[in-house]
Structure 1
Amino acid sequence: MLICLPPSEGKTSAPDGGAPVDLAALTAPGLTAQRETVLDALVDASAREDATAVLKVGASLADEVARNTRLRSAPAAPATEVYTGVLYAAAGLGDLSGEAAARAAADVLVFSGLWGVVAPTDRIPAYRLSMGVSLPGVGGLAAAWRPHLEAALAERAAGDVVVDCRSAAYVSAWKPATTGHGAADWVTIRVVRETDGVRTVVSHHAKHTRGVLTGHLLRRPGPPPTSAAELLAAARELDGTVIGTEAGTGLSYRMLAAELHEATGPRRPHTLELVIS
């Protein structure tokens, strides 16, 4: 099993006094040279007068963009403490211990426009950069990272199931092979809400539900799934359980069913549809 996560949009700064990031110590050291290139370009872009426009963020985030200029000296913390969005809160990656923590270290990768990928325990500073940005001197980040991520991840994904919780911009940076030598069972996660027999795609609940599934896959007893069929069986262990509470209303929602839809063509993923009420 390889679980692919997006970074959270908002990030929590590490406590003052911590050691800065050590690029060579991050997961997939073959990415170090490209990380250096992207980091240098981000620092330069963040010092420009039009930095917020280059990084495609609003003026209210100017302080976070300015923080990018100090990334080489900024304190770092484990990725599970820096990424703190809805998905990460639901997954509880920072609360894992024992076998579950070891499984997360081996089976979870967070995709990043700055780092390429990091593992939950990799120490990084808070930063502001999305994969959809085109950095001066580097170009579109998804395209810039693609050959490097393919070289770094192809062998890891081969013969395994890739549980893909990423958004489209991060998917475009790396797609596992689904045919031929080194093929993987690639499965994207879609969350829908069923009301009076009608299913609709949801957004906030989708992030939370993907986080719940991630946490379940890491904590459940027994070996992790290695195929789409085994992933479906593991997801169905959540059927009927309450998986969240709506902010404001206090109403809970539960998992109704998990269904697997086959890929529609080569280099296309299967889709695991999680139905909530």
Structure 2
Amino acid sequence: MIVLLPPSETKRAGGDGPPLRLDALGAPELGPVRATLVDELVALAADRPASRRALGISASQDAEIDRNAHLLASPTMPAIHRYTGVLYDALDVESLKGAAAVRARARLAIGSALFGLLRADDAIPAYRLSAGSKLPGGGTMAARWKPVLEPVLAALARDELVVDLRSGAYASLGRVPGAVDVDVVSERPDGSRAVVSHFNKAHKGRLARALVASRAEPDDAGRVAAVARRVGMAVERSGNALTVVVPA
């Protein structure tokens, strides 16, 4: 089983790994697109106004441009430790020990606008690029990634059950055939429901933690739901789609 996470805008600084080596990342088929995007980001960083427009940031976030300028020289750390934020706080991978930590490294993957697909231990620097960014080189992130990323994801799904926790923007970079898709909704006392926005990430992080900590090896949506229910989550299933229901 692979649990496919979204990335986050926020990332830890620093690291103790050597500078980025694209040829050391998993899914080497993605190397040419990765290399093109890295080169474009580094070059774009020389033009701050253009960088702000492309990345959708303000002048107060110019430190993000500096990160991109030093992509090829900055220290790295494993991808699963690089990303921060609500989902990653709930996942809390650092607190997993022993066999659970080993399973987390094997089961976790991350969608990325810059790298396409990362495994937990892939060493990356801090950077800024989102699925909605549009670099001057032309084409949306989805247009650039889909032709090369979808075959990689399809091959992954032939060997493993994929639980896709990515947001819509990152899922558009490459769909996973047969994946278990997960939504989060809140239920009011009268039974009406609404889509959860911000805290959606926390519940997906909690689900990811349950899946990587479990000794079970789910091979369909029903067994994924069973793992979630064992940690107290309310989950409904419709085919390959799961809905996590939380109180409003």
Instruction: Give the TM-score of the pair, scaled to structure 1.
Output: 0.83
Q: What is the CA distance between 1:138 and its match in structure 2?
A: 4.6
Please list every run of 5 or more consecutive structure 1 residues that lacks an aligned counterpart in the other structure. Answer: 178-183, 240-254, 263-269
* Paired residue type of 2:100: A
Give unpaired runs (5+ residues) of structure 2: none
Contact 2:185 2:195 in 1 (8 A): yes
Q: Which letter does structure 2 place at the counterpart of 1:76? A: T
1:166-218 CA distances to partner (integer Å, 9 max, x unpaired)? 111111111122xxxxxx3x222111222212322222221011001000001
Summarize deviations over 1:62-82 as a string: whole Å, max 9, x none: 121122011100111111221
Structure 1 segments of 4 or more deviating over 6 A?
none
Alignment partner, residue 140 of structure 2: 140
Structure 1 residue 159: Cα displacement? 5.8
Q: Quick check: 1:212 aligned with 2:189?
A: no
CA RMSD of aligned residues (A): 1.7
Q: Match for residue 272 of structure 1?
A: 242
TM alignment of 1:56-135, pairs within 5 A? 56-135=56-135
Sequence identity (%): 42
Whole-angstrom distance in 1 between the partners of 2:14 and 2:94: 14
Bigger CA drift: 109-118 or 195-204? 195-204
Answer whether contact 1:6 1:167 (CA < 8 A) is retained.
Answer: yes
| CA shift for structure 1 position 18 | 4.2
Give me the whole-angstrom Cα distance separating, in 1, the residues matched to 2:99 and 2:27: 22
The answer as to whether partners of 2:78 and 2:124 remain within 8 angstroms in 1 is: yes
- The answer as to whether partners of 1:111 and 1:118 remain within 8 angstroms in 2 is yes
Q: Could you give the per-residue CA deviations for residues 57-104 of structure 1, whole angstroms, max 9, x where no partner exists? A: 222211211220111001111112210111011112233333323322
Q: Deviations over 1:2-49 (max 9, x none)?
A: 21111111111124x642111111111221222111100111222223
Residue 258 (structure 1) aligned to one of 211, 230, 235? 235
Query: Using a 3 Å threshold, how does the CA distance of structure 1 residues 138 and 37 change in structure 2: closer, same or farther?
Result: farther
TM-score by length of 2: 0.92
Distance 1:204 1:157 in 2: 28
Q: Deviations for 1:228-252, whole angstroms, at most 9, x for unmatched residues?
A: 121122222123xxxxxxxxxxxxx
Q: Is the 8 A contact 2:78 2:123 kept in 1?
A: yes
More strand by share: 1
Give the secondary structure class of the aligned counterpart of 1:109: strand
The structure with the greater share of residues assigned to helix is 2
Look up the SS of the partner of 1:102 in the other structure: helix
Alpha-carbon distance between aligned partners in 1 of 2:237 and 2:160, rounded to the nearest angstrom = 17
Distance (whole Å) between structure 2 residues aligned to residue 117 and residue 276 of structure 1: 30
Corresponding residue for residue 233 of structure 1: 226
Count of residues in correspondence between the two structures: 245
CA contact (8 A) 1:38 1:138 kept: no
- State the SS of the aligned residue for 1:200: strand
